[in-house]
Amino acid sequence: MALDAGDLALRQLTEVWLDELLDMTNDPAVARLCGTRPGVTDQELLSEITARKADPTCCDWAILHSTTGEFVGNIVLHEFDEPKNAMTMRVSLAGERWMDRGIGTAVLETVLTHAFDGMQLSRVNVSVPVANARALRVFTRLGFSEGRQYDSRGVRHQRLSLSKLQFVLAIAERLMGESLDTQKWSFAFDSGKRRAGLCDHTNRRISLSKHMSGLHSVDQSRQVMYHEIAHALAGAKHGHDKQWLRIATDLGYRNERISGRAVDEAHARWRGICPNGHEYFRYRRPTRVSSCSKCSRKYDDRYKILWDERTE
């Protein structure tokens, strides 16, 4: 799966970048920040690349500069934990020249969006050396919460974990901070099920439906935030008028209707179909036998819904 993050391109890591990967892995500064030890051989790295390519659950990307094609680093999603529907993420940049340029944040946001929307993961985990304060700040800004610490090869590491809602929360608070005075405006999740978001002018609070945020893609939640932030900036009297739309568009709002049906079709794990072709979608495995409500208002075995788990 090829991904793009602004001026960066994420492409399947292959032996083509073995030399660059070897230099990065054995760079003392990179090793210190990642908690690893220099001295890895090209054959060891080649074996790792080959093993990850053969693992259907693993995503192993080379981070490349889109214009120059330079090797910028490596980011991996691996170690799939099926019971928890979680994976471990690891990222490294190829030397200090690529650090403190916002590259890590841009790449992480892109990969995390793919992890939650494309791969439908429930959680992403990382481990960071305690001494790498810069990386800890980045992960914290992205919504990761701290877990237990542990020692590995004499280096103290911090475990961190992120769910989709934590990621959406971090994005929402960042977007608000870019346009609103967060000393006056606050954010929260609410329990709404028939609307995606709300701008409460009285209490100066923007909220997203916790239920819908779990179903919507991260990008759709971002669009809802643009919608609601524009309401806050325009003021209550403007509603959905031209001034509100201009502000929303300037923020990045695409004025697209968010369909619950479209979200279900794209993300629901279970698809049901009746003998007449009417479709139903569920996010959890259906436990009760049911028939098509469009074919009969009462249960009718002739119109029983058959369920299939979708793997793509």
Contact 124, 86 (CB under 8 A): yes
**Residues 23-74 pLDDT 10s:** 998 888 888 888 777 778 889 989 999 999 899 999 999 999 999 999 999 9
Last residue of a domain, which of 260, 282, 299? 260
Number of domains in the chain: 3
Range with the lowest mean pLDDT among 95-104, 156-165, 169-178, 194-203?
95-104
Does 102 share its domain with 203?
A: no
Contacts 24+ apart (CB under 8 A), 42-50: 42/18, 45/18, 45/21, 46/15, 46/18, 49/13, 49/14, 49/15, 49/18, 49/21
Contact 252, 260 (CB under 8 A): no
Does 19 share its domain with 94?
A: yes
pLDDT above 70 for 262: no
pTM of the predicted structure, to 2 decimals:
0.80
Last residue of a domain, which of 260, 276, 298? 260
In a domain, residue 139? The reply is: no
Does 223 share its domain with 202?
A: yes
In a domain, residue 147? The reply is: no
Does 111 share its domain with 219?
A: no
Contact 114, 82 (CB under 8 A): no
Q: Tell me, what's the pLDDT at 109?
A: 95
Q: Tell me, what's the pLDDT at 310?
A: 87
Last residue of a domain, which of 222, 240, 260? 260
pLDDT above 70 for 263: no
In which domain, by residue range, is 41 found? 3-120
Confidence tier at 259 by pLDDT (50, 70, 90): low
Over residues 86-108, the mean pLDDT reads 90
Instruction: Scan for tokens 């990386």, then name that residue.
Output: 135
Percent of the chain with pLDDT over 70: 96
**Residues 161-190 pLDDT 10s:** 999 999 999 999 999 999 999 999 999 999
What count of other Cβ atoms lies within 10 Å of the Cβ of residue 297? 8
Over residues 253-267, the mean pLDDT reads 71
